[in-house]
């Protein structure tokens, strides 16, 4: 095994020992407490703080405060959704105020929601109404000129992204007319169509299936999760050194873009996301979902470590191979070979890289499949520190 792999294994082991000594416990997505992470516990490593300083133009104090605020917002979101009831119209994290903003259709719920620590804004449509519109649009056949669509709580509409060069195409205009009849929609332009981030065989620290290179997402007990477009069920998987790892045990693409691979033959799993020397390797402590507006970082075998923000949730992405539903959109860049890699917010697993547009030289946007959906679909348990 090459020296870098030995070093990473040693670092991972050291991180696990440190976590055990600190008495860290697993934070499950469904039953974690609503209280924020105590202020005396650092929300992230010093290297991650440094990366956020670079990517967001923050001071060390600002980056630390933002991560603490985002951790608190995850708990507030769950509580606010519960007390808002049917008037809940969605929510997002506001980085300027450091608070969660909750959209409501009725002012009568305002006081109860504000009591959770959220800031309230009134909107026209509830999340239930917007989700119903989303489902009706999902049932339509989208032409190639339509890039994606998602529920946007800020505008209280379903936002449809259309590739600017195709906005006047007859089939695109027909789709938009039918989508508009489905409920409240907003149309926005985009320069490029989305595509997946798989790649041919090249060097690096990937996993391979056939001549396709992708990236490991998160360790689960018995294997790891990754993107579905990287391989079909029973396909064999090999590591960076060509040795056999395991097989795809389940895979779905399109419609979804998730899969999981069993691990054996001397390979093992650890609750760690690689920092690729940009930051230290990051421990995974749970999978509490980050709100819209929160900071998020991605690790992949081509472009390594990059950070950005959560832009939208529940977005349908119209790839050339077919539509993929319930994706999360981010401002993080990615490149071919990054598919399947880890999206993490603080120490909480978020999802596996699916696709996007652009690159890490000129920028772009990337979508991921939420990890909790993958765990639920296959009955897997996230490996946490």
Q: Do 148 and 297 share a domain, yes or no?
A: no
Q: Do 9 and 63 share a domain, yes or no?
A: no
Q: Residue 1 maps to which CATH number?
A: 2.40.10.10
**Which of the residues 69, 148, 152, 229 is marked catalytic?**
229
Number of domains in the chain: 3
Catalytic-residue membership of 94: no
pLDDT score of 18 = 38
Q: Do 61 and 134 share a domain, yes or no?
A: no
Catalytic-residue membership of 339: yes
Q: Do 288 and 258 share a domain, yes or no?
A: yes
- The domain boundary residue, chosen from 152, 167, 193: 193
Show the tokens assigned to 264.
């054996």
205, containing H or E segment: none
- The domain boundary residue, chosen from 62, 96, 118: 118
Give backbone dihedrals phi and psi of 321, rounded to 5 degrees, phi first. -80, -10
Q: How far apart are CA 33 and CA 36, in angstroms?
A: 8
- The per-residue DSSP string of 261-313 comes to EE--TT----SEE--BTTBPPEE--B-PPPPBT-EEEEEETTTEEEEEEEEEE
pLDDT score of 13 = 42
Q: Do 215 and 334 share a domain, yes or no?
A: yes
Catalytic-residue membership of 257: yes
Q: Do 86 and 16 share a domain, yes or no?
A: no
pLDDT score of 49 = 85
Domain that residue 54 falls in = 32-118
Q: Do 111 and 170 share a domain, yes or no?
A: no
Rg (Cα) of the chain, in Å, rounded?
20
DSSP-derived 3-state class of residue 20? helix
Q: Do 214 and 259 share a domain, yes or no?
A: yes
Q: Residue 156 maps to which CATH number?
A: 3.30.300.50
**Which of the residues 257, 281, 338, 347 is marked catalytic?**
257
Residues 6+ apart with CB under 8 A from 257: 196, 227, 228, 229, 324, 327, 352, 354, 355, 369
Q: Do 363 and 222 share a domain, yes or no?
A: yes
Q: How far apart are CA 287 and CA 305, in angstroms?
A: 19
**Which of the residues 161, 301, 339, 342 is marked catalytic?**
339
Q: How far apart are CA 158 and CA 315, in angstroms?
A: 9
- The domain boundary residue, chosen from 118, 148, 175: 118
Q: Do 249 and 357 share a domain, yes or no?
A: yes
Q: Do 216 and 161 share a domain, yes or no?
A: no
pLDDT score of 117 = 97
Give backbone dihedrals phi and psi of 258, rounded to 5 degrees, phi first. -145, 160
Q: Do 37 and 178 share a domain, yes or no?
A: no
Mean pLDDT, each 10-residue run in order, the chain (385 residues):
40 40 31 32 68 89 94 95 97 96 96 97 98 97 94 97 92 96 95 71 62 93 95 93 91 98 86 86 93 96 95 96 97 95 95 95 95 98 94
């Amino acid at each position: 095994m090459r020296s870098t792999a030995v070093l990473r294994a040693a670092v991972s082991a050291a991180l696990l020992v440190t976590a055990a000594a600190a008495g860290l416990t697993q934070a499950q997505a469904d039953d974690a407490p609503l209280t924020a992470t105590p202020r005396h516990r650092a929300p992230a490593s010093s290297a991650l703080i440094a990366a956020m300083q670079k990517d967001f133009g923050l001071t060390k104090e600002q980056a630390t405060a933002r991560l603490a605020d985002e951790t608190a917002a995850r708990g507030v979101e769950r509580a606010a959704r519960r007390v808002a009831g049917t008037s809940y119209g969605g929510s997002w994290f506001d980085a300027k105020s450091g608070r969660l903003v909750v959209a409501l259709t009725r002012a009568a719920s305002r006081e109860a929601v504000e009591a959770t620590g959220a800031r309230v804004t009134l909107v026209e449509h509830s999340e239930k109404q917007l989700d119903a519109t989303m489902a009706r649009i999902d049932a339509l056949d989208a032409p190639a000129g339509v890039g994606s669509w998602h529920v946007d709580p800020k505008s209280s509409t379903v936002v449809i992204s259309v590739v600017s060069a195709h906005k006047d195409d007859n089939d695109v205009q027909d789709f938009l007319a039918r989508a508009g009849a489905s409920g409240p929609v907003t149309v926005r332009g985009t320069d490029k169509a989305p595509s997946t981030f798989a790649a041919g065989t090249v060097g690096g620290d990937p996993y391979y299936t056939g001549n396709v290179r992708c990236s490991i997402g998160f360790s689960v007990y018995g294997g790891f999760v990754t993107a579905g477009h990287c391989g079909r069920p029973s396909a064999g998987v090999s590591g960076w050194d060509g040795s056999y790892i395991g097989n795809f045990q389940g895979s779905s693409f399109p419609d979804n873009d998730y899969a999981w691979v069993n691990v054996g033959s001397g390979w093992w799993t650890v609750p760690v996301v690689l920092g690729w020397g940009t930051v230290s390797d990051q421990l995974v402590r749970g999978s509490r979902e980050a709100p819209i507006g929160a900071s998020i970082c991605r690790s992949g075998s081509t472009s390594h470590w990059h950070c950005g923000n959560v832009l939208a949730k529940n977005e349908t992405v119209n790839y050339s191979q077919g539509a993929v539903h319930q994706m999360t959109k981010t401002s993080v860049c990615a490149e071919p070979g990054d598919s399947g890699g880890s999206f993490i917010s603080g120490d909480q697993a978020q999802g596996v890289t699916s696709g996007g547009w652009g690159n890490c030289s000129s920028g772009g946007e990337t979508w991921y499949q939420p990890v909790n959906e993958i765990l639920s679909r296959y009955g897997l348990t996230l490996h946490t520190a």
